[in-house]
Structure formats: C-alpha cells, structure tokens
Amino acid sequence: MKLYTGERLAELAGARGLSDDYLRELRIVSAVLPFRVNDYVERELIDWSAAPDDPIFRLTFPHRDMLPPDVFSGVAELYDAGATREVLAKAGAQARRLLNPHPGGQIEANVPVLRGKPVLGLQHKYRETVLVFPSQGQTCHAYCGYCFRWAQFVGSETRQALSDPATMVAYLRAHPEVTDVLFTGGDPLIMKTAVLRRWVEPISEPGLNHIRTLRFGTKALSYWPARFIEDDDADDLLRLFEQCADTGRHVAVMAHFSHPQELSTPAVRQAISRIRSTGAVIRAQAPLVAHVNDDARVWADMWQQLVGLGVIPYYMFVERDTGARNYFEVPLARAHDIYTDAIRSVSGLARSARGPVMSAHPGKVLIDGIITVMGVKVFALRLLQARNPADVGRQFLARYDPTARWFDELTPALGTHFPGAAVEY
C-alpha cells in the first residue's frame, strides 16, 4: 500500500493537474487537519477528470473551507511568510484546540473508571456497549475529511488509546451489563491479524459470557479491500471472524460507505462476499456530508447496492460538531428531507437505515419528523440510544430552525424538555 500524506499528497495533486492556488490551500489546511490517501483510493475511486468536484476527492483531499476563515487566514499568513515547519506545526496544534477535537463529552463523560482511575482508551457511553481503542489501531488506510475522530491522527496529546488488553478484560469482568464490545479507532483492521487476536481472544475467557456481540468499526472495505483478499494475513483475519462466530457470538463488521463509488470495484465486492462467508454480518453507516453525498439519489443508490451485496444499511448520521464541520455540515431540516426522499425511493429491506441521527451528548438523537403542533412548527425527536437507559425511545420536541446544524443549536418546544442526567460507569 502506497500512502500519500503531507508534501507527498501535494505532489500527487500537482501531478494530477490541480492548480498552484489549490496546492497552496492544500498545504495550509493539512498543517492543521490530518489527510492521508492510499494508491487504491487514488487509482480506483477518484475520477481525476472530475476533480476537484469528484465526491471521493472532496471526501479525502483538503479544501480551504474545512477550516474556519480566521483559522485559515492565520495559518496562511505564516505559510506565505515562509514560516518553518516547526512554526507551522505549533500553529496547527493551537488551531486544532479550537476545532472541538473530542465532541459529545467523549473525554469528560464517556471515559469510564476502573479501580478509581479513568481508563483512557475505553469509552462506556451506553449501558450495553463498550468501545475499545487498541493503541496499535489508531490510524486508517486513508482518512475521510469529515472524520469525527480526526484527533486520533494528530499526536499523542489528543489520542485515546489502550495499550493492554488485560485492562479491557478487567473492566468487562467488572461490568456484566455490557453485552457488546466495539473495537474502534482509527481503524482496528489496520492492525495485523496476530495483533488483533491479542485483543479479541481474551473475550472468550471464562467469566465473559455476557459479551454476546463483537463489533469491528472499519473503513477498510471502502479504502483497502485487499485487507480481506490479498494482504498476507487476509485469510487469517477471516478465520478470526469465523472463530468468533463459532463461539456463538454475533460478529458485526461496522463498515463506513459514504458514496456508491466506494462500491464500484470488483475488489470491494469480493471482500464483502468473503466476510459474509465467515458468518459475520456487515452493517453500513456514514454521515450525510455536503459536497459528497448530500443528495437523496446518492443514498438511495448506495442503500440498494448494499442490500444487493448482502450488507445491512444501518445509520445515516449528521456530521458532528468537530473538525471540518464548516465544510461538510448540512442543516438538520435539509438532512431530514434528504433522508425522507431517499427512504421513499427504496424497498423495505433498505429501510433498515435510520436517520438522520445525531450522536450528541445525551445519546443518538433521531430526527423523526418535521411537524406542526398547535400551530407551531417543530422537530419531532427521539432517542434511539441514551446515556440514561430510561431515556431510550423517549420522544421530545424542538423548535423548528431551518439553519440549525447540531443538537446544541436546538431549543425545547411546547413544554417538552430535553433529556437530563446521565448514568456514570
């Protein structure tokens, strides 16, 4: 796998005919936010004749509007003055602190405690599910510009990572209410299978029978399907999935497909078939993002293709309030219209996709509808998942705001109240 980051990314864009003005902007934005493209994405997914408007190009390459104007201008001033790499790096680090690197209380509220100490590298937001961030899996085969976990890729000061599977096992033993473990990152499938095994196999130890589901969050199907076909340990990875399924546990590959173009190659279709042959189930999710997939026809096409390949459409998320949100965010009202138009265009099997959903501080907030009650136009909201289990399924109303882009921009309507206190683990 050939990787393009930093100056190599600029050289690739220049060789593909992008303008000098764009290359300047690329270097400025990438001094703040992380970007990585591999040769599969560059060769198989991007239509260079349509760049810079090609959706996969927009997904993976910098654009000046990914930074707030004042942040861009501040870094640009240093770059144009010939600042050293060290000076630009310092400015980039300062800028990143302004971009809400850990949204939704990921550090303050999601990190659990074991033996009186916080475990940075685990998250326990919902009663049934624990997220695990293996230290060896905190990068990806390529980076999405919208990634809400971008802070994992820019230095140890912002990274969540757990170095020892024993800590994970001890925490799970202490919490029998947990049924699902989600290995995430970064991308856990960036790890060699032998390393991944060291994290997965301990969950089969006695005393952990309450763990019924193993989930693997990954973009590898989109960005490096060779992980399941041609990599030197691809067969061993599939054997690991099969062995996990043979224990009676549900194995779920939580794939990220942002655009039908990512489903267009023979490699991804072969990879999907191989994963399904192990007994694992593939569920597909992605955020609705401007410049890439903010079109109902794109989602309907993608969901239909996924169902045809045996993949279950899962979530249409709202772009989170972090990182490059300036560039990718879509107003909630428009997001609801796009979802509704898309879901009406597909059969019942594709309607398993839920959306638009905000992974906000209280939980997964579904925009269930836009309605008028007693002459007042409101968003009808529902919690699909919640910090407080008692709030799961709770319905509430927010004042309709055509410009609102995130949960914290909404206000309660008609005497309803937003969800309250969380449960700490």
pLDDT digits (tens, 9 = 90+) for 222-256: 999 999 999 999 999 999 999 999 999 999 999 99
Predicted TM-score of the model (pTM): 0.95
The residues pairing with 134 across neighbouring beta strands, listed in sequence order, are 162
Write the DSSP symbol of residue 84. -
| Token pair in block for residue 94 | 């300062």
Helix (H) or strand (E) holding 126: strand 122-126
- What amino acid is encoded at 419 in this protein? P
Q: Is the pLDDT assigned to residue 4 strictly greater than 70?
A: yes
Give 25's contacts (C-beta < 8 A, 6+ positions apart): 62, 63, 64
**Distance, first Cα to last Cα, the chain:** 40
Residue 274: how many other CB atoms lie within 10 Å: 18
| Token pair in block for residue 391 | 């709030």
What domains appear along the chain, each with residue ranges and CATH number? 3-96 (no CATH), 103-409 (3.20.20.70)
Q: What are the contacts of 377-382 at 24+ separation with CB within 8 A?
A: 378/413, 378/414, 379/332, 379/336, 379/410, 379/413, 381/410
Gyration radius from the chain CA atoms: 21
Position 108 scores a pLDDT of 83
Residue 286 pLDDT level (bands cut at 50, 70, 90): very high
Closest C-alpha to 247, from 205, 196, 310, 191: 205
pLDDT digits (tens, 9 = 90+) for 119-146: 999 999 999 999 999 999 999 999 999 9
pLDDT digits (tens, 9 = 90+) for 71-111: 999 999 999 999 999 999 999 999 999 999 888 888 888 99
| Token pair in block for residue 54 | 């090609």
Residue 156 pLDDT level (bands cut at 50, 70, 90): low
Position 252 scores a pLDDT of 98
Q: Is the pLDDT assigned to residue 159 strictly greater than 90?
A: no
Position 157 scores a pLDDT of 64
CB 28 within 8 Å of CB 261? no
Average pLDDT over residues 321-341: 96
The residues pairing with 213 across neighbouring beta strands, listed in sequence order, are 180, 250
Cα–Cα distance, 379 to 365 (Å, whole number)? 11
Q: Is the pLDDT assigned to residue 180 strictly greater than 70?
A: yes
Average pLDDT over residues 14-23: 97
Position 419 scores a pLDDT of 86
Cα–Cα distance, 42 to 56 (Å, whole number)? 9
Cα–Cα distance, 402 to 202 (Å, whole number)? 49
Cα–Cα distance, 406 to 319 (Å, whole number)? 8
Average pLDDT over residues 283-303: 98
User: What is the chain's mean pLDDT, rounded?
Assistant: 95
Residue 15 pLDDT level (bands cut at 50, 70, 90): very high
Q: Is the pLDDT assigned to residue 169 strictly greater than 90?
A: yes
Position 415 scores a pLDDT of 86
CB 120 within 8 Å of CB 127? no
Cα–Cα distance, 423 to 386 (Å, whole number)? 9
| Token pair in block for residue 372 | 């008028």
Q: Is the pLDDT assigned to residue 421 strictly greater than 60?
A: no
113-139 per-residue burial string, b: 16 or more CB within 10 A, e: under 16: eeeeeebebbbbbbbebbbbbbbbbbb
| Token pair in block for residue 206 | 């006695």
Position 107 scores a pLDDT of 82
- What amino acid is encoded at 136 in this protein? Q
Q: Is the pLDDT assigned to residue 420 strictly greater than 80?
A: no
CB 65 within 8 Å of CB 327? yes
Residue 155 pLDDT level (bands cut at 50, 70, 90): confident
Cα–Cα distance, 358 to 420 (Å, whole number)? 17
Q: Is the pLDDT assigned to residue 5 strictly greater than 90?
A: yes
Position 416 scores a pLDDT of 83
The three-class DSSP label of residue 1 is coil
**Could you identify the residue written with the tokens 């473990």?**
181
What ranges make up the beta strands (E) of 210-362?
213-218, 250-256, 281-288, 312-318, 354-359
What is the secondary structure of 308-327 as a DSSP string? HTTPEEEEEEEPPSSTTHHH
| Token pair in block for residue 135 | 């230290």
Position 253 scores a pLDDT of 98
Position 425 scores a pLDDT of 61
Average pLDDT over residues 8-35: 97
pLDDT digits (tens, 9 = 90+) for 32-48: 999 999 999 999 999 99
